[in-house]
Structure 1
Amino acid sequence: MTRKEAAVALGSFGACLISVFMQMIDVTIVTTALPVITGELGATRSQQLWFVAGYSLAFACVLLTAARLGAIAGRRRMFLWSAAAFTAASLWCGMSTGAVELDIARIVQGVAGAGMAAQTIAIITASFHRDHQPYAFAAYGATAGFAGMLGPILGGVLITVDPFGLGWHVIFLMNLPLGVLAVGLAARYLRIGPAPQRPPLDLRGSVIATAALFLLLFALADTGHAGWRPWQWGCTAAALTLGALFAAHERATRRRGGVALVRLDLFGDRGFGIGSVLVTVFFGLFTAFVFTVSVLLQEVLRFSALRTGIAMTPFAIGAGVGAVLSPRLVHRFGIRALAAGVAGFGGLVAVGVGYLYMRAGAIDLPLVTVPVFLAGFGVGVFGVPLQPIMLAGLDDDAVNEASGLLPTVEQIGNSVGLAVLSALFFRAHTLTGAMTMLSAIAVAALGLGVLALALPDRRAAAAATPWSRAATP
């Protein structure tokens, strides 16, 4: 690779990293600011939930179609327009003066975020040689995880410091310089045009998939408002029916020699199939965990936004350390390292529930610093190598097909996590509700540890990260 080619690849990659940072931080940064936003806008509990769920729902529903549009119109064009729209939507969120307006702006922001996310894996695949792709995917995954964990901490700091007297608006307006930088880098360095053979849109498949995802996630998310009602059961049944219809449509399209919206044969690869389940559940757990802890600390235990951020900082630091050391651990122990990481997280969450029960919610922050750090460490060890392991068994064409599918799986996990959270906890902001939710998270994390052992042992792919050579003797 020449110096010019390297500059183009790194510039494009920089735009992708900035975009995923904005996408993921906007999932979790809102959680710390929810009490302030709710109080200022007079939001109902349902509107409060949709500040978070509306973004994830829109993101998940649009991803598959956005990935196909990128293949047709060109990844560069789609990424640039989506990054510009995301920046504009962030400005709209930051200027919103009502709860309904903010809900709508967040949905628009989610749609634009999906447009960016659906292109990034394909951009990375096209920008880097196959041997270097695991490095890029690992850095991409680490950035997404770091942004998700940084969100509540940064939100607490910004709400407390209140720069320029902007209040909660600043958590959205901070995206403006980042968005401008992402657009600038993509405009300067991203050179990926339309595919030589442009696939058809598959409008029927797009409509069926979008409708199925919307009905399922909308029904789940709205349980926090009034519990399960007959129309929600109907929506769920309709979503499952449409999901089966979509699978049949995709298989028929492939049999006719057409280009399916989703290559269902990807799930036949053991690493990708099992990894998809792990990713879906893990992202759901992570989102639910961050949201639950934020609401518990602020609305139940009456922590300030800044103190909430401080309480969650050891978790983020632990996750960062786990991410850095994960290549060495995977190189030595294989998939057992991933299983131990997520199971350790689940075990420590269970210990935390016992601590809350015995202390009746009284938390001694210095005392819990080490366990919180270790819980984050387990998350870092599990999350970073997972994506390279999933993609390692796929050829270049299949990896490109995964460009819209993998982020969709992740965002479905986010949305389902919020939906389960709303069903179990959102209507009852109590210590008992928090312990119930955290107990469910602990059990699910331990289950993930068992399932992770079924992954193929692709140590070379999981250990090939930008820092692995320094970490491995």
Structure 2
Amino acid sequence: MRAGDQTAAWLSFTGCLIAVFMQMIDGTIVTTALPSITADLAASRQAQVLVVSGYALAFACTLLTAARVGELVGRRGMFLWSVVAFTAASVWCGMSGSAGELVAARVVQGIAAGGMAAQTIAIVTASFPRARHQQVFAIYGAVAGFAGMVGPILGGALVLADLFGSGWHAVFLINVPLGSVTFVLAWRHLRLGRPIRRERLDLSGAVLSTVTLFALLFALTGIQQNGWRTGLLVVLAGAFGCGALFLVRQRREERRGGALLVRFDVFADRRFAVGSVLVTVFFGVFTAFVFAVSITLQEVLGFSPWRAGLLMTPFAVGACAGALASPMLVRRWGVRTLTVGITAYGIFVAVGACYLHLTNGVVSVPLVVGPVFLAGLSVGVFFVPLQPIMLSGLEQRQMDAASGLLPTIEQIGNALGLALLSALFFRAHTLAGSVTMFAAIAVVALGLGALTFALREPA
């Protein structure tokens, strides 16, 4: 790459990183602001849930279609319009005068976030040569991981600071300067060619995939919150039915040589196929872990949200450190880096479960800071190299398909793992329930360590 092209690539990548930071923190930043929102807008319990889940559902259900639209009309334009929509929706959220209006604004914000996220992998892989992918994905993973963990802390800080009397509104309005910087960087420096082939969007496939994902994630979220109720099982069965119709339609389109919403040939690559299983299970385990930590610290041990966030800060710092160190470790150990990372994480979680059991829930903060940091370090070492390794055997056109497929797999893993693990092991928010949940997470993580042996070394 020429010096000018390198500079443009890194500046546009910076814009992508800010976008990733925004979309990640907006999934969690609202949690600590929810009591203030509830008091100000007189939000019902259902509205409170929708303020959080409406964003997540809209985000996940948009990814596949947004990735395909970006492939057809151009990644640059799709990314820019999504940034504008996300920033405008954030202003709408911050200016909402009722709970219903805020829920609607959050859904629009989630759709726009999905539009940004669905372009990121394709933009990164097209902007940098393969030799740089480990490095840029390490930075990407560090930012995403840190943003996901720091969201509740930042939300609490903004509400407490009450800047210019903004209160909870600031957790959304903070996206205005961030979105503006993102737009300027992408507008000036994102250089991607226009699509070579003009194809149509498979509208029927887009509708079927959206309905399938919505029903699946809605049912899993409901199971996590309310257990295995008949209505939710019916919705889950409907999701599988719609998913089967979607697969049949995609196979038919493939035989006809038509436009596909999902390219199944990416699963013919062993690294991508095995990596997809690892990603799905890991995101389920990790989301369940974050949920269990939050419930354990606040409801079982009586920590304030602010103190719980501070206790988990070493985990976020460790994850960033592991992410940044991972390219060097992969060059030295190859795919065994993933084995070491996820196995170490499972061991640390198991040690944590034993510690809670032996101390009967009495936590010494100075004593646990080190293990918490090392657990985060292990997560960064495992997850960040996983993405470039599983993408290493794909062609650029397959990368375009993976740009929406991979984050969709992650979102399904989020909902699936949280629903199954919490429903099976964590129905009672007690100390015994916490110990059981962490033990289950540790067992699954160690199982992932064994599965990493099925991965091939990248060329």
Fold match by TM threshold 0.5? yes
1:143-166 deviation digits (Å, cap 9, x = unpaired): 222222222333343344443443
1:89/1:189 CA distance change after superposition, 3 Å: same
Most deviating of 6-15 and 96-105: 96-105
Counterparts of 2:396 and 2:374 in 1: how far apart (Å)? Answer: 37
Aligned match of 1:154: 154
Aligned match of 1:200: 200
Aligned match of 1:189: 189
TM alignment of 1:107-146, pairs within 5 A: 107-146=107-146
1:195-254 deviation digits (Å, cap 9, x = unpaired): 121222011111111111111111111224543222221221121122222222222212
Q: How far is 1:448 from its partner?
A: 1.5
Aligned match of 2:277: 277
TM alignment of 1:299-448, pairs within 5 A: 299-420=299-420, 423=423, 428-448=428-448
> Is this contact kept in 2: 1:292–1:438, CA < 8 A?
yes
Where 2:258 maps in the other structure, the secondary structure is coil
Q: How far is 1:313 from its partner?
A: 1.2
Aligned match of 2:245: 245
1:332-371 deviation digits (Å, cap 9, x = unpaired): 3332221221122122222222222333332211111111
Aligned match of 1:16: 16
Most deviating of 395-404 and 28-37: 28-37
1:298-356 deviation digits (Å, cap 9, x = unpaired): 34433233312210111112112222222233233332221221122122222222222
> Is this contact kept in 2: 1:89–1:109, CA < 8 A?
yes
Q: How far is 1:295 from its partner?
A: 3.3
Q: Which amino acid counterpart does residue 368 of structure 1 have in structure 2?
A: V
Where 2:454 maps in the other structure, the secondary structure is coil
Percent identity of the aligned residues?
A: 60
Counterparts of 1:102 and 1:382 in 2: how far apart (Å)? Answer: 37
Q: Which amino acid counterpart does residue 246 of structure 2 have in structure 1?
A: F
1:16-46 deviation digits (Å, cap 9, x = unpaired): 1111111112223334444554565555555
Counterparts of 1:90 and 1:41 in 2: how far apart (Å)? Answer: 17
1:407/1:224 CA distance change after superposition, 3 Å: closer
> Is this contact kept in 2: 1:224–1:426, CA < 8 A?
no
> Is this contact kept in 1: 2:68–2:401, CA < 8 A?
no
RMSD: 2.5
Counterparts of 1:95 and 1:301 in 2: how far apart (Å)? Answer: 36
Counterparts of 2:32 and 2:201 in 1: how far apart (Å)? Answer: 39
Structure 2, unaligned stretches of length 5 or more?
Answer: none
Aligned match of 1:221: 221
> Is this contact kept in 1: 2:142–2:319, CA < 8 A?
no
Q: How far is 1:62 from its partner?
A: 1.0
Where 2:191 maps in the other structure, the secondary structure is coil
Aligned match of 1:167: 167
Counterparts of 2:49 and 2:426 in 1: how far apart (Å)? Answer: 8
Q: How far is 1:185 from its partner?
A: 1.2
TM alignment of 1:287-302, pairs within 5 A: 287-302=287-302
> Is this contact kept in 2: 1:284–1:413, CA < 8 A?
yes
Most deviating of 332-341 and 312-321: 332-341
Q: How many residues align?
A: 459
Q: Which amino acid counterpart does residue 106 of structure 2 have in structure 1?
A: R
Q: How far is 1:280 from its partner?
A: 1.6
Counterparts of 2:227 and 2:399 in 1: how far apart (Å)? Answer: 40
Counterparts of 1:8 and 1:55 in 2: how far apart (Å)? Answer: 32
Q: Which amino acid counterpart does residue 266 of structure 2 have in structure 1?
A: L
1:360/1:95 CA distance change after superposition, 3 Å: farther
Pair 1:93-2:93 in alignment:
yes
Most deviating of 388-397 and 421-430: 421-430
1:442/1:91 CA distance change after superposition, 3 Å: farther
Where 2:272 maps in the other structure, the secondary structure is helix
Most deviating of 373-382 and 397-406: 397-406
Most deviating of 337-346 and 92-101: 92-101
> Is this contact kept in 2: 1:155–1:309, CA < 8 A?
no
Counterparts of 1:418 and 1:81 in 2: how far apart (Å)? Answer: 32
Q: Which amino acid counterpart does residue 58 of structure 1 have in structure 2?
A: A
Aligned match of 2:77: 77
Counterparts of 1:167 and 1:434 in 2: how far apart (Å)? Answer: 33
Aligned match of 1:256: 256
Structure 1, unaligned stretches of length 5 or more?
Answer: 461-473
Counterparts of 1:54 and 1:390 in 2: how far apart (Å)? Answer: 30
1:296/1:41 CA distance change after superposition, 3 Å: farther
Counterparts of 1:39 and 1:182 in 2: how far apart (Å)? Answer: 33
Counterparts of 2:35 and 2:286 in 1: how far apart (Å)? Answer: 20
Q: How far is 1:415 from its partner?
A: 3.1
Aligned match of 1:463: none
Pair 1:450-2:442 in alignment:
no
1:357-416 deviation digits (Å, cap 9, x = unpaired): 333332211111111111111101101101110111112221122121112112222333
Aligned match of 2:64: 64
Counterparts of 1:308 and 1:235 in 2: how far apart (Å)? Answer: 35
> Is this contact kept in 1: 2:74–2:194, CA < 8 A?
yes
Counterparts of 1:282 and 1:450 in 2: how far apart (Å)? Answer: 13
The alignment's TM-score, normalised by the length of structure 1, stands at 0.89
> Is this contact kept in 1: 2:71–2:400, CA < 8 A?
no
Q: How far is 1:420 from its partner?
A: 4.0
